[in-house]
């Protein structure tokens, strides 16, 4: 496809209107055009990127998804696991496929994604055809049988679930995980202490959850902070701790990473 045709397909209306005024393509547009010319997977519209990530930067969207994907791979490798060896993998709260899209060339597993937001899931269904996507509800069972997955990853979802929903979802994910399967999930941990109020910090240091905008659980405005002991001794106490990586500005994420395993028998 030539540059002109590619531009016509990816340039949003507001840019078409005043396009002649811009001598150089804005960076996000140049990234979209290059992506199209390179025949890469489609990039979601900026409003959907904003919904999951709180920004509209296409470059950051692609780069951060790639980095998270590599972090997941590296942590599995550290424990002698390769994602290629799994039969079935679930991305829970997959959003608009920020991480999922980077598995497209990885052979082995069947890839599944689920989210409770129909706009995000519809975009994924229409554009990331190598994976299968389903819609779930905020607090209802997942549309999968018991013991369906060898590996489930959950990036920045428990960070937006109140205490009741947190317990509901850890149990539900555990149900669909095979015995001996692995669950990778992230939380806001100690790294975020600095931005907390005195009262929040006290609560967190006492090992309690800190929840902002609790009535909007599931939405990004509901921000939840988990002390690591709370995660290991309460939230995920039925699962075996395999690894814990504290959030750090040098990691690809400032969020804590937990890798846990479902016991072979309970």
Ligand X SMILES: C[S@@+](CC[C@H](N)C(=O)[O-])C[C@H]1O[C@@H](n2cnc3c(N)ncnc32)[C@H](O)[C@@H]1O
β 88-92/110-115 pair status? parallel
Q: Does 98 participate in binding ligand X (rule CB under 6 A)? A: yes
CB of 6 to ligand X, least distance (A): 26
Residues 124 and 97: beta-carbon distance below 8 Å: yes
Other C-beta atoms within 10 Å of 117: how many? 20
For residues 135, 50, 59, 196, the Cα torsion angle rounded to the nearest 10 degrees is: -110
Q: Does 102 participate in binding ligand X (rule CB under 6 A)? A: no
Q: Which of 151, 155, 182, 184 binds ligand X (CB under 6 A)?
A: 155
* Residue range at the interface with ligand X (CB under 6 A); choices 14-22, 76-84, 94-102, 254-262: 94-102
Q: Which of 42, 45, 218, 247 binds ligand X (CB under 6 A)?
A: 218
Q: Total number of residues binding ligand X (CB under 6 A)?
A: 18
Q: Which of 95, 113, 166, 189 binds ligand X (CB under 6 A)?
A: 95
Query: Judged by CB, which is closer to ligand X: 12, or 141?
Result: 141
Q: In whole angstroms, what is the distance from residue 113 CA to residue 132 CA? A: 6
- Beta bridge partners of residue 151, listed in sequence order: 89, 182
Q: In whole angstroms, what is the distance from residue 79 CA to residue 96 CA? A: 29
CB of 30 to ligand X, least distance (A): 23
Query: Judged by CB, which is closer to ligand X: 7, or 124?
Result: 124
CB of 156 to ligand X, least distance (A): 4
* Residue range at the interface with ligand X (CB under 6 A); choices 23-31, 34-42, 95-103, 248-256: 95-103
Residue, CB closest to ligand X: 95
Query: Judged by CB, which is closer to ligand X: 134, or 261?
Result: 134
Q: Which of 32, 36, 103, 115 binds ligand X (CB under 6 A)?
A: 115
Q: Which of 31, 69, 88, 136 binds ligand X (CB under 6 A)?
A: 136
Q: In whole angstroms, what is the distance from residue 23 CA to residue 116 CA? A: 41
Q: Does 262 participate in binding ligand X (rule CB under 6 A)? A: no
Query: Judged by CB, which is closer to ligand X: 64, or 110?
Result: 64
> By the criterion CB under 6 A, which residues form the site for ligand X?
52, 93-95, 98-99, 115-117, 120, 136, 138, 155-157, 160, 218, 220
């Amino acid at each position: 496809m030539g540059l002109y045709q590619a531009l016509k397909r990816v340039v949003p209306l507001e840019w078409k209107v005043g396009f002649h005024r811009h001598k150089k393509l804005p960076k996000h547009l140049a990234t979209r055009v290059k992506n199209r010319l390179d025949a890469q997977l489609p990039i979601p519209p900026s409003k959907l990127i904003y919904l999951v990530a709180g920004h509209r930067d296409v470059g950051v969207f692609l780069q951060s998804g790639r980095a998270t994907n590599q972090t997941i791979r590296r942590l599995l490798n550290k424990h002698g696991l390769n994602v290629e060896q799994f039969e079935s993998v679930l991305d829970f709260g997959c959003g608009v496929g920020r991480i999922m899209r980077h598995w497209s060339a990885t052979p082995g597993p069947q890839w599944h994604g689920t989210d409770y937001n129909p706009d995000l899931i519809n975009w994924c269904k229409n554009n990331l055809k190598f994976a299968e996507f389903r819609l779930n509800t905020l607090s209802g069972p997942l549309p999968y049988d018991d013991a369906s997955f060898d590996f489930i990853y959950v990036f920045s979802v428990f960070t937006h679930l109140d205490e009741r929903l947190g317990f509901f979802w850890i149990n539900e994910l555990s149900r669909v995980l095979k015995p001996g399967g692995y669950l990778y999930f992230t939380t806001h941990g100690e790294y975020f202490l600095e931005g907390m109020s005195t009262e929040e910090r006290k609560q967190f240091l006492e090992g309690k959850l800190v929840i902002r905008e609790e009535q909007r659980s599931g939405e990004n405005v509901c921000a939840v902070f988990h002390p690591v002991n709370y995660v290991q001794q309460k939230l995920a106490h039925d699962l075996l701790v395999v690894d814990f990586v504290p959030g750090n500005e040098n990691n690809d994420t400032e969020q804590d990473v937990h890798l846990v395993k479902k016991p072979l028998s309970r």
